[in-house]
């Protein structure tokens, strides 16, 4: 039987197999017409060596043919695909095309439900930190880029830069996430040099988009000249690089590390405004916070009513989101979440709480419904 290996970007959650699929020994793994239901299933199939008959070459397994995945499923699939794409063995593939495919997943997730896509950063903290961080940054960049009405080529380049800004130091990022001791001199040098090193990796993998490359090169520069590695200033730093920088700082601060807990999202945004506001063009930090929301989706909050809930949608104003209450004013869990509009004084947000203080996180699907289905 003539056969070829299925590429990682040909099989997606929700897709239906257009033909029988086999392992390297010709044993049937998945029959034609079977729907792929989870990323775990995909990983297992790819790991065993998934092949199809040669005559199906060129036929894409399009999710849209049969069903539409959820926003959260798209974001989690983007994480899985980025890990495969950035792996050493993926260097021989069509890297720019694969990153574009991941961009399409992120765009699809955000179009399906921006709030659920944003909340994924707070609710799905599993997997490699370096990969998760890159995708979380890309989602934030997509949301702010869409709010700024960026032209499509610039938006694509911005998301691609967010996904690949650390491509040369992914392993180091994971190590530092668990490291308690101070950085070594070698680690400091690697971090200082990683924008140029990442650009070199991208060029070696076939990236020619200069906007993408310049955004990666300048994502640690600051318009006041305080950034690294070249101390660029003002208009020398493209807007995509500035957006990636804001997303990078914000997403890092809402993630816990071995030596510090995660900041609450509203505190991370406040610190972002104070620390980074002068390092990007005037007003950009404020626009970022307005797009993400003062209380970003997924944030657990206590209302003036005494109820505790989760921000499920950004409201008309950045500080008045819609909240789904899951714990009543007397501390009793509710059987069904109740929606509250925090623009009403009775249900205004009093403060942000920590999950450890209120109990276990409910499944995303309980709050975002079909938009959070992952299997």
- pLDDT digit string, tens, across residues 211-230: 999 999 999 999 999 999 88
pLDDT tier for residue 36 given thresholds of 50, 70 and 90: confident
What pLDDT shows up at residue 48? 59
- Residue 352 pLDDT > 60, yes or no? yes
pLDDT tier for residue 54 given thresholds of 50, 70 and 90: very low
pTM above 0.85, yes or no: no
- Residue 348 pLDDT > 80, yes or no? yes
- 41 vs 219, residue with greater confidence: 219
| Domains of the chain, earliest start first | 3-66 (3.90.105), 71-180+192-292 (1.10.3210.10), 300-361 (no CATH)
User: 208 with 199: CB under 8 angstroms?
Assistant: no
What pLDDT shows up at residue 45? 62
- Residue 33 pLDDT > 50, yes or no? yes
The 3-class SS string of 83-104 reads HHHHCHHHHHCCHHHHHHHHHH
Report the C-alpha gap between 321 and 296 in whole angstroms.
8
Strand order in the sheet with 3-5: 3-5, 51-53, 21-22, 28-30
What pLDDT shows up at residue 34? 75
DSSP 149: T
Report the C-alpha gap between 134 and 310 in whole angstroms.
24
Q: Which residues touch 53 (CB under 8 Å, ≥6 apart)?
A: 1, 2, 3, 19, 20
Average pLDDT over residues 322-330: 95
User: 323 with 305: CB under 8 angstroms?
Assistant: no
pLDDT tier for residue 350 given thresholds of 50, 70 and 90: very high
What pLDDT shows up at residue 2? 46
What pLDDT shows up at residue 10? 61
Closest CA to 340 of 318, 364, 351, 324: 324
Residue with tokens 């392992």: 23
pLDDT tier for residue 59 given thresholds of 50, 70 and 90: very low
What pLDDT shows up at residue 1? 44
What pLDDT shows up at residue 29? 73
- Residue 62 pLDDT > 50, yes or no? no
Closest CA to 66 of 15, 31, 104: 15
Model confidence pLDDT, tens digit, residues 186-201: 999 999 999 999 999 9
- 308-313/322-327 β-pairing: antiparallel
Instruction: Point out the least confidently predicted range of 36-50, 166-180, 259-273, 306-320.
Output: 36-50
Q: Count the neighbouring beta carbons within 10 Å of the beta carbon of residue 344.
A: 12
- Rg of the chain's alpha carbons, rounded to an integer? 22
What pLDDT shows up at residue 57? 37
- Residue 107 pLDDT > 70, yes or no? yes
What pLDDT shows up at residue 185? 96
What pLDDT shows up at residue 149? 96
What pLDDT shows up at residue 89? 53
User: 174 with 202: CB under 8 angstroms?
Assistant: no
Model confidence pLDDT, tens digit, residues 123-171: 999 899 999 999 999 999 999 999 999 999 999 999 999 999 999 999 9
Closest CA to 311 of 289, 292, 336, 328: 292
- Residue 41 pLDDT > 70, yes or no? no
What pLDDT shows up at residue 351? 96
Average pLDDT over residues 276-284: 93
Q: What are phi and psi of 314, to 5 degrees?
A: -75, 140
- Reduced to 3 states (helix: H, G, I; strand: E, B; else coil), residue 49 is coil
- Residue 122 pLDDT > 60, yes or no? yes
CA distances from 222 to 219, 280, 297, 346 (A): 8, 6, 28, 42
What pLDDT shows up at residue 69? 87
pLDDT tier for residue 326 given thresholds of 50, 70 and 90: very high
């Amino acid at each position: 039987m003539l056969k070829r290996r299925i590429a990682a970007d040909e099989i997606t959650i929700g897709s239906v197999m257009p033909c029988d699929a086999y392992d390297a020994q010709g044993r049937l793994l998945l029959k034609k017409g079977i729907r792929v239901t989870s990323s775990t299933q995909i990983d297992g199939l790819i790991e065993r060596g998934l092949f199809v008959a040669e005559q199906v070459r060129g036929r894409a397994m399009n999710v849209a043919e049969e069903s539409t995945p959820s926003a959260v499923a798209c974001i989690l699939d983007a994480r899985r695909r980025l890990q495969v794409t950035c792996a050493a063995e993926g260097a021989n593939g069509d890297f720019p095309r694969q990153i574009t495919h991941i961009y399409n997943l992120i765009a699809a997730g955000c179009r399906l439900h921006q709030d659920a896509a944003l909340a994924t950063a707070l609710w799905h903290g599993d997997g490699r930190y370096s990969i998760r961080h890159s995708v979380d940054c890309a989602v934030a960049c997509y949301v702010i880029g869409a709010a700024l009405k960026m032209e499509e080529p610039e938006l694509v380049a911005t998301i691609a830069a967010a996904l690949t800004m650390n491509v040369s130091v992914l392993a180091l990022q994971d190590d530092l996430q668990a490291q308690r001791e101070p950085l070594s001199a070698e680690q400091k040098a690697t971090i200082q040099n990683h924008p140029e090193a990442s650009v070199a990796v991208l060029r070696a993998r076939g990236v020619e988009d200069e906007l993408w490359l310049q955004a990666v090169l300048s994502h640690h520069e600051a318009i006041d000249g305080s950034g690294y590695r070249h101390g660029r200033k003002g208009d020398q730093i493209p807007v995509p690089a500035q957006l990636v920088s804001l997303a990078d700082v914000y997403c890092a601060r809402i993630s816990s590390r071995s030596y510090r807990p995660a900041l609450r999202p509203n505190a991370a945004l406040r610190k972002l405004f104070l620390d980074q506001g002068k390092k990007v063009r005037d007003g950009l930090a404020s626009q970022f916070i307005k797009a993400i929301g003062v209380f970003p989706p997924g944030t657990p909050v206590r209302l003036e009513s005494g109820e505790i809930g989760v921000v499920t949608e950004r409201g008309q104003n950045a500080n008045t989101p819609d909240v789904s209450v899951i714990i009543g004013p007397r501390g009793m869990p509710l059987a069904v979440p109740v929606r509250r509009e925090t623009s009403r004084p009775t249900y205004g947000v009093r403060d942000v709480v920590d999950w450890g203080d209120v109990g276990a996180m409910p499944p995303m699907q309980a709050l975002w419904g079909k938009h959070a289905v992952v299997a």
